Amino acid sequence: MHDGDLGTILGVWGHPDDEAYLSGGLMAAAVDAGRRAVCVTATRGEAGFPDDDPRTIDERAAIRERELAASLEILGVVEHRWLDYADGRCHLVDVAEPVAAIRAIIEEVRPDTVLTFGPDGMTYHDDHIAVGRWTTLAFRDAAVPGMQLLYATKSQGWLEGFVDIVDPGRVMMVEGSEPPWTDAEEIAVHYVLDEGQLDRKVRALKAQATQVGTLLDQIGEDGFGAFNRDEFYRRPGPADWP
């Protein structure tokens, strides 16, 4: 188990709620210990609504903005940046622009640890994969000695518990795919939230009600807590990106 000390954290994610699901505990632990936690979000998540939602794209984006702000406030994270790309279209962007933007943030923040997606994007979402690639390229350009890049993942044991309570098809973006996992010996960070931290993370996620309501209704409070108690990260490998 990891003690949660990753120094100054910079997380780079695709949509509001990615950061809370994958690093809410680690960010809150950093803030509570007096360390810096900076969150970057590529899109405003305006596509994350049912097809028949009557609100305009701008109205949906504004809802996601408010939800993310409330969530980060619960976690104690006060530094947030938007990259301002369209939800669902990150894979169509010329990589040079976002890589330059993320590189500039890395150079400004000088994090000890950069957290993002690996090539699987956790759910194989095109935006997640694109953001992971952008961040990796930016890190390669901007990293200084001692700075580390980590990719979100899960353990095999976590996955086995997950499929017992959730149909993977409800969360995976590619039909027939399963959540990615990493061998235990290759997991660099396994952070287990205590009860107080878990309560805080769950409250932060509930603040993003448009995104978590369906899952919460499906698996209940206990299942939702079990789903979110563990945060896992691995180091990049030579085969991860060209």
* pLDDT digits 0-9 by tens, 31-70: 999 999 999 999 999 988 888 888 888 998 999 999 999 9
Q: What is the pLDDT of residue 193?
A: 97
Q: Which residue has the higher pLDDT, 78 or 55?
A: 78
Q: What is the pLDDT of residue 173?
A: 62
Task: Kindly tell me the burial class for residue 226, based on how many C-beta atoms sit within 10 Å of its own C-beta (0-12, 13-18, 19 or more).
Answer: middle
Q: Please indicate, yes or no, if residue 223 is contained in any of the structural domains.
A: yes
Do residues 65 and 17 touch, judged by C-beta distance below 8 A? no
Q: Please indicate, yes or no, if residue 45 is contained in any of the structural domains.
A: yes
User: At 125, which CATH number?
Assistant: 3.40.50.10320
Q: Please indicate, yes or no, if residue 240 is contained in any of the structural domains.
A: no
pLDDT band of residue 2 (cuts 50, 70, 90) is: confident
Q: Which residue has the higher pLDDT, 55 or 111?
A: 111
> What is the separation of C-alpha 44 from the centre of its chain, rounded to a whole number of angstroms?
14
CA angle 153, 114, 194 (to 5 degrees): 60
Do residues 182 and 53 touch, judged by C-beta distance below 8 A? no
Nearest to 118 by CA among 95, 138, 135: 135
**Nearest 5°: phi and psi at 235?**
-85, 150
Reply yes or no on whether the pLDDT at 198 is more than 80: yes
Domain containing residue 174: 9-234
Do residues 103 and 142 touch, judged by C-beta distance below 8 A? yes
Q: Please indicate, yes or no, if residue 239 is contained in any of the structural domains.
A: no
Do residues 219 and 10 touch, judged by C-beta distance below 8 A? no
How many C-beta atoms surround the C-beta of residue 51 within 10 A? 5
DSSP 155: B
**Whether this model's pTM surpasses 0.85:** yes
Reply yes or no on whether the pLDDT at 100 is more than 80: yes
Q: What is the pLDDT of residue 162?
A: 77
Q: Please indicate, yes or no, if residue 25 is contained in any of the structural domains.
A: yes
Q: Please indicate, yes or no, if residue 241 is contained in any of the structural domains.
A: no
Q: What is the pLDDT of residue 44?
A: 97
CA angle 1, 178, 140 (to 5 degrees): 60
Buried/exposed 80-108: b ≥16 CB within 10 Å, e otherwise: bbebebbbbebeebeeeebbebbbebbee
- Structural tokens at position 88: 């669902």
Reply yes or no on whether the pLDDT at 242 is more than 80: no
Mean pLDDT of 126-148: 97
Reply yes or no on whether the pLDDT at 13 is more than 90: yes
Q: What is the pLDDT of residue 47?
A: 87
Task: Kindly tell me the burial class for residue 35, based on how many C-beta atoms sit within 10 Å of its own C-beta (0-12, 13-18, 19 or more).
Answer: middle
Sign of CA dihedral 240, 123, 127, 84: negative
Mean pLDDT of 142-150: 97
Reply yes or no on whether the pLDDT at 16 is more than 90: yes
Reply yes or no on whether the pLDDT at 171 is more than 80: no
Sign of CA dihedral 179, 184, 186, 190: positive
Instruction: Look over the chain and give the mean of its residue pLDDT values, rounded to a whole number.
Output: 93
With tokens 């039909």, the residue in question is 175
C-alpha distances in Å from residue 167, one per residue of 171, 176, 179: 8, 11, 11
Domain count of the fold of the chain:
1
Reply yes or no on whether the pLDDT at 172 is more than 70: no
Q: Which residue has the higher pLDDT, 49 or 9?
A: 9
Q: Which percentage of the chain shows pLDDT scores above 90? A: 74
Q: What is the pLDDT of residue 178?
A: 75
DSSP 189: E
